[in-house]
Structure 1
Amino acid sequence: MGGVFIREINLISWNVNGIRAVDRKGFSDWFSKTKPDMLCLQEIKAQVEQIPKRLKHVEGYHSYFNPAERKGYSGVATYSTSKANESYTGIGIDKFDHEGRFLRTDFDDFILLNLYWPNGGMGDDRLKYKLEFYDAFLDYTNNLRDEGNNLVICGDLNTAHKPIDIARPKENENVSGFMPIEREWIDKFLVDGYVDTFRMFNDKPEQYTWWSYRTRARDRNVGWRLDYFFVNEEFKSNVVDSYIMSDVMGSDHCPIGLKIEL
């Protein structure tokens, strides 16, 4: 009898707050030492032609980019040791697709969705845009699931889900990123059949992925957990670990990791 072949895949997601800025802080060395099977970056803040050559073509990786139309803003990148069967840079709704927030890469066993969800803190219009983006995204993922696909979803959600996910919940309940209406969407997303993988393994407080530069908040661990790896319920048994890499510097966010077995 033949055994079942198990392959472990290590994925990392990181909002780098500028790919050129993080590259000046040792990102390339970190990447080559860490050697993830897949690396998803958010907020690259660069057009493809502005990305340093060594990060445009990384040895051993296929690279996919979706910069925003606006220069120096938003943008996502995915690196993978396996070539994607297909890649897509939008969800098919024009007002969401020009900001460089979405990158889909299809592999044999799952679809990887790399996202930089909008920030709602710039006023009512942007909060409305953020919530509309959330809903459009949920429709999109549900359609993919209905077609029988497994999904790995990662990135900067720009919302902390529960009081455990933020250092100062009381002071921030009227601040975008922790408003009830934003958090309710995460509840809805999870009820619809998606899993916050980090909380499968870790139910401790003070586990954050973003700290404000302005207040040197990282030194005091006054942070927010804004970065996530989600999978659909049907794929949950493939997840073997989900973790935060809080010791990695270079951005106001730290990377997060996911290990899956196929």
Structure 2
Amino acid sequence: MRIISANVNGIRSATSKGFIDYLALAQADIVCVQELKAQEADMTEEMKHPLGMHGAWHTALKRGYSGVAIYSKQQPDAIQIGLGWEDFDQEGRYVRADFGQLTVISLYMPSGSSSEERQQAKFCFMDKFLPIMRDLQTSQRDILICGDWNIAHQNIDIKNWRGNLKNSGFLPEERQWLSQVINELGWVDIWRTLYPEIPGYTWWSNRGQAYAKDVGWRIDYHLATPNLAACAQQASIYKDVKYSDHAPLIVDYAYP
């Protein structure tokens, strides 16, 4: 089972650059997308159901902003749109699809880089989401949360870690929160577990020559419950074509 997580920074933009063609080559069973930046009315049938896949999406009220989706070859047994939090649900940040014993979630964590107000909103989301992750962990289901978490966890996850210690995405409080998710709640960071010494950057600033020089951040993750994590065989980051300021993260699971 191949599952891809990709922040497309606009589904219309990514599609125009060949993202759907890439999905055809990648042959994924499930694709989790973040930053659709489109309302349902703005999306073509190809964007809603690429390659004929089933589609579930959670778009933001604000045009050209946020939004997440899950595409799957198999029709989900159940779909959950949003978390029941009016403020964050208006931003389109969470969609869940159940397939038998498996649950897959596409998540777009708020970014705090634009202002102190947004950083506080990010902290608020983290505080509210932690109990959700605790409940999911104890649900006896095999669960995968794919997405853009907007947090680089450890020094290895960011090229210029010394210069970003006081910047959103690498703040001590954010890193500690992710440590709690992994070390206390028991979620497994698939990439870091498979490849302890490979940085695995998935996002590069558009400033300067960050992409060309590989001055990146690893902020896109597959976080899985232990039983599912044990099925992870290999992972990769697709950089042959640049569809976004993020690169797709691909993981193959021997599941079920």
What TM-score comes out, normalization by structure 1 length? 0.93
User: Counterpart of 1:219?
Assistant: 212
Paired residue type of 1:21: S
Deviations 1:24-63 (A, max 9, x none): 1111211222220001110010001101232223344101
| 1:95-134 deviation digits (Å, cap 9, x = unpaired) | 2211001110011121111011000112222112112212
Aligned counterparts, 1:38-187, within 5 A: 38-187=30-179
- TM-aligned CA deviation for residue 138 of structure 1: 2.1
Contact 1:91 1:140 (8 Å CA) reproduced: no
What is the CA–CA distance in structure 1 between the aligned matches of 2:118 and 2:108, rounded to whole Å?
14
Query: Does residue 241 of structure 1 match 2:219?
Result: no
Deviation at 1:258, TM superposition (A): 1.4
1:202 corresponds to 2:195: yes
The correspondence for 2:25, drawn from 26, 30, 33, is 33
Residue-by-residue CA offset, 1:128-182 (whole Å, 9 max, x unaligned):
2112212222211222332322210110000100110101011000010111111
Give me the whole-angstrom Cα distance separating, in 2, the residues matched to 1:112 and 1:138. 17
* Identity in percent: 37
Give the paired residue count.
Answer: 254
Structure 1 unmatched runs, 5+:
1-8
Distance 2:49 2:196 in 1: 38
Measured in 1, the distance between the counterparts of 2:94 and 2:194 equals 27
- The answer to whether the 8 A contact 1:248-1:255 is kept is no
Task: Kindly indicate whether the alpha-carbon contact (under 8 Å) linking 2:20 and 2:51 is maintained by their aligned counterparts in 1.
Answer: no
Separation in 2, partners of 1:208, 1:145 = 26
Higher alpha-carbon deviation: 56-65 or 189-198? 56-65
TM-score using structure 2 length? 0.95
Per-residue deviation, 1:90: 1.1
How far apart, CA to CA, are the structure 1 residues paired with 2:50 and 2:68? Answer: 16
Q: Hey, which bits of structure 1, 4+ residues long, moved more than 6 A?
A: none
Q: Distance in 2 between matches of 1:225 and 1:102?
A: 20
One-letter code aligned to 1:84: P
Aligned partners of 1:226, 1:145: CA distance in 2, in Å?
21
Aligned counterpart in structure 1 of residue 8 of structure 2, from 16, 37, 62: 16
Deviates more, 1:248-257 or 1:201-210: 201-210
Alpha-carbon offset, residue 206 of structure 1: 4.0
SS in 2 for 1:167: coil
Unaligned runs of 5+ in 2: none
Task: Say which SS state the counterpart of residue 96 (structure 2) adopts.
Answer: strand
Question: For the Cα contact (< 8 Å) 1:209–1:246, is it kept in 2?
Answer: no
Distance 1:186 1:57 in 2: 33
* Structure 1 residue 205 displacement after superposition: 4.3
Deviates more, 1:186-195 or 1:124-133: 124-133
